[in-house]
Amino acid sequence: MAATALPPSADLDAGTKRAVIEGVKQALAALQTAGQMDHAIAYQSLIAQPAALAAFIKAFIAHRETTDAIVRPKAGGGPVRSDDEPLICGVSLNQIQHLLVRTCAKKALSHDHPPETVMETVTKTSFLFFKKTEQVAVQRAADPTEERKLREILRYMAFGWQLPLLDAYDRLTYQQIIELDIGFLALTTPKAIAAVAGFDPLIIRKARQTSGAEFAHVLNQRPEALPGIAAWSGDQYTFYRTLLGESAWRFFARDSDFFNLVTALDKNTAQVLGDVLCTVAAENLQELQRLNIDKTEILVEGLRQAFGDRLPQILSIPAFAKDILRKTVDNLIHLSQDKDKLKVSVGLTCKAMVPTVIQWLSKQRPPGR
């Protein structure tokens, strides 16, 4: 699950810290006694091993009743079922989770960047003019950029679902994390994080500025759309986002060559094409661009009615342009009927194409083969 905000930070004094640690130990023991946690896991494992802490959090959530005698509310006597409710120790379950996850993440990621030992050549002079060159071992501190990156990652570590993502987070650069800001929390899978890790930080910044309040939503839905969003102005982004709704992320995830074609479209034609823009191959779009707006609208509507849900698949195949669509466009260019008659004629033509197109489609090689 994605989060849009961090829980309030908790500054623990020594007494509160001891109470929290003792409560976690008791909760772990209770879950183990009930057979809901591995008996081999100790408290030290929870704060040093991401998999162990993730298992503890999962078991705690699934079996809250097991720890009801330990986890008590600050006010009232009922069981605690809200993760934001203050406990008798003075902090909430969300704040305790935040502390545990952050501590565990720090130990796990710090281990990945130990000080480096390198060999350096040193020349020493003795007896005024005798020189001796030798190799000596020198220990260098960890890369300061990596240290800053670790601090930035830890700023956003607060939830159990993040623990399996630590290795993926570590592939992000410091500058990428800075540009993501709170959007970091919207990256919930290794695949999504890997996609962002491949982008220049300036692309992330431009996409964040263009998408504004929707930035986290983009990251959660389809981070591959960032370069496309960064390529458009704010007005263009708003236009296509409004036109395409949630399908806009598929559109913005397309390549720059396709966008070069789309920039030639006026807004009226783009509105006629609608969600076709999310999947249509560049070759097929070029054929459609040969028509005026009325004929484009008529043909697209005829194709939609004839092929229904299969139309996106058909139009996504580049060969459809040369094999079938071009001839249809050529014929339509030369028709001069009024719009209503043309709509009927094109509708019949598209329906008559169905058997031929379905047969053609069956012979197309699946992508990647």
pLDDT score recorded for residue 10: 78
pLDDT in tens, 15-72: 999 999 999 999 999 999 999 999 999 999 999 999 999 999 999 999 999 999 999 9
pLDDT in tens, 314-369: 999 999 999 999 999 999 998 888 889 999 999 999 999 999 999 999 998 765 44
pLDDT score recorded for residue 369: 46
Cα(181)–Cα(216) distance, rounded to whole angstroms? 10
pLDDT in tens, 285-321: 999 999 999 999 999 999 999 999 999 999 999 999 9
pLDDT in tens, 204-237: 999 999 999 999 999 999 999 999 999 999 999 9
pLDDT score recorded for residue 124: 65
pLDDT in tens, 134-144: 777 776 666 68
| Domain layout of the chain by residue ranges | 1-113+144-170, 200-362
Report the residue count for the chain.
369
**pLDDT, average across residues 100-107:** 96
pLDDT in tens, 160-201: 999 999 999 999 999 999 999 999 999 999 999 999 999 999
Contacts made by residues 120-127, CB under 8 angstroms, sequence distance 24+ = none
pLDDT higher than threshold 70 for residue 129? no
